[in-house]
Chains A and B, each alone.
Chain A
């Protein structure tokens, strides 16, 4: 495996640029003046101790939270307080730290929801199952089947997601996000709670997504080995502030980062 750049892929221009982002809930400051960018085609990791503001960062990127201060530019255009739906329309997909699958639905239906944004047939066309609606359904089913093949979950198509083991649920979560064919994929601790084997599978999928579809990926992960292995650049947050930014090697040698992780008396 090794560093991302060694695959010979070409990192492009900045697709996402966050400037001086601050976010607070009442008196709690989740993020304070954080600035960083994400380049096309790269795998960008966000690391930091618990409560460092990592998930808040993702929530700002896909419009769940609106920062009180700072600007977000996406694909070259400044964004102003987009909501999550608009972010989805702009091609931002994500997975969740505590799996947020639709537990009453089958694996197939869960992944099909990732196509909802692209499905246009009207209420009556669906109710009467007009040929146009049927065709649309089949066409998207085929796209979903490709994702299912890609993530090797063919055997569980019709299984209710609630019955799947944890590791597979994480995979379905990823499948649902992939079905959106996103430009930017946000992964919130995709490997949390997995065993070594499952982690290896997930790493492979993430690298493959990045490689085959050219998807730009921002991920939060606690497993340092994984982060150092698969990411191109890493940003380190601590108490809502950025304390490090750079390639895995640079970050590894950064004194502030080492302090934050090992703990040091200030």
Chain B
């Protein structure tokens, strides 16, 4: 009875086209944001920030970026961590070589550079599709892995090939504690999520989805495949590049070559499969799931009083991920986001069964 839209009449198309047309959704979002920015810093421990919320927020952003390409535009990529690495190394070099730049500017520039590289590797998508494209994106993965491991300039000639970053300084305000890092990330991710939501409900987003659902028909009604696909690759890589820069600077602090390897790419893909392809909310669900599950699994043997080696735990984790992917593809291809929607549907009717 609490969640229903009866009586909420829209008197203009503008009102009907709001981001959240239902009053209860707006209230829920307001409460959620209030908790994220005001409540959470008082509630959670440093450990929770560092090992769950910070990686969760950054990976949400990356998953969101990948979702724009795969979930909305229907172009598969199994090499998206490559664009994260481009963002991370671009940010590293910008900070190193132009120290006076504000970090927000660095983030945007790193995203743009990643977008350029993403466009480059997106060009094959104009001639090939589906499975062929999957292999083309693997080329991006292995080529970028190699580039950052071998080309010394990118790592500033560090003998070990690993790089480390200084604390981010934002307008004289250092982002150095777990809470500050969390708040900074929460703000960045909120802004980017809103921008993404705006894009997918505009004509560009509809062009992407049209390409995904039926590319020949999309072309026939005048959508340019070149424009739709390349913007999807560009915007997606931009998001993922920004996430990569944040992953390097805020989460890792210092990283070695191959920190952005194919395993990370596959994990991003798993996030959107489990969370929900073609859903912005789903990107968050999926990222949380993939961040939280290994932590839970690592703890579980202790709780259950079973003695298990870390290697064994990681094999189990791999098996569970694999099984879950198959499970979701078969049972709920639209992922956790769909379960959420079903829950809302039920709530709308509650307490009546129909």
Contact = CB atoms under 8 A, between A and B. Distances in A.
Q: Do chains A and B touch in the complex (CB under 8 A)?
A: yes
Interface of A: 62, 64, 83-85, 87-89, 93-94, 96, 100-105, 109, 112-117, 119, 121, 123, 126-129, 133-134, 137-138, 140-142, 145, 176-177, 180
B221 A133 contact: no
Interface of B: 13-14, 17, 195-196, 198-199, 202-207, 209-210, 212-214, 216-225, 231, 235, 278
A138 B13 contact: yes
Contact of B213 (A64, A96, A105, A137): A105
Nearest to B202: A126
Given A103-B213, A177-B221, A116 B13 contact: no
Contacts of A89: 222
Given A88-B222, A113-B207, A142 B217 contact: no
Nearest to A125: B202
Contact of B223 (A105, A109, A116, A134): A116
**Would you list the 9 A-B pairs with minimal beta carbon distance, nearest first?**
A88-B222, A117-B222, A100-B217, A126-B202, A102-B213, A119-B203, A127-B195, A84-B219, A129-B198
B202 A133 contact: yes
Contacts of A116: 203, 206-207, 210, 221-223
Nearest to A145: B13
Given A123-B231, A127-B199, A137-B202, A96 B278 contact: no
B206 A105 contact: yes
A140 B13 CA distance: 10
Nearest to A114: B221
Contacts of B225: 85
B221 A142 contact: no
A113 B214 contact: no
Contacts of B17: 137-138, 141
Interface majority SS (helix, strand, loop, mixed), chain A: helix
Contact of A109 (B195, B206, B216): B206
20 contacts: A84-B219, A88-B219, A100-B220, A102-B212, A102-B214, A103-B213, A104-B209, A104-B212, A113-B203, A113-B207, A114-B221, A116-B210, A116-B223, A123-B235, A126-B199, A134-B14, A137-B17, A137-B203, A138-B13, A180-B222
A134 to B, nearest CB: 7
B204 A180 contact: no
B295 to A, nearest CB: 33
Contacts of A126: 198-199, 202-205
A134 B17 CA distance: 9
Contacts of B210: 102, 105, 113, 116
Q: Which of B13, B17, B202 has the most CB of A within 10 A?
A: B202
B223 A128 contact: no
B216 A100 contact: yes
A115 to B, nearest CB: 7
A119 B206 CA distance: 11
B176 to A, nearest CB: 31
A62 B210 CA distance: 18
Nearest to A104: B213
B13 to A, nearest CB: 5
Nearest to A134: B14
A238 B196 CA distance: 51
B235 A102 contact: no
B195 A113 contact: no
A62 B203 contact: no
B47 to A, nearest CB: 35
A134 B14 CA distance: 8
Contacts of B202: 121, 126-127, 129, 133, 137
Nearest to B16: A141
B12 to A, nearest CB: 8
B113 to A, nearest CB: 17
A112 B278 CA distance: 18
Contacts of B216: 64, 84, 100
A180 B223 CA distance: 11
B203 A94 contact: no
Contacts of A64: 216, 220
A141 B13 contact: yes
Which one of B206, B218, B219, B222 has the highest number of Cβ atoms from chain A below 10 Å of its Cβ? B222
Contacts of A114: 221
A180 B213 CA distance: 19
A62 B220 contact: yes
A1 B12 CA distance: 38
A145 B10 CA distance: 14
Contacts of A102: 209-210, 212-214, 217-218
A142 B13 contact: yes
A85 B223 contact: yes
Contacts of B207: 113, 116
Contacts of A115: 203
Given A105-B209, A128-B198, A93 B221 contact: yes
Contacts of B222: 85, 88-89, 116-117, 180
Given A88-B222, A104-B209, 14 more contacts: A84-B219, A85-B223, A88-B220, A93-B220, A94-B220, A101-B217, A102-B217, A105-B206, A109-B209, A113-B206, A116-B206, A116-B223, A127-B202, A133-B202
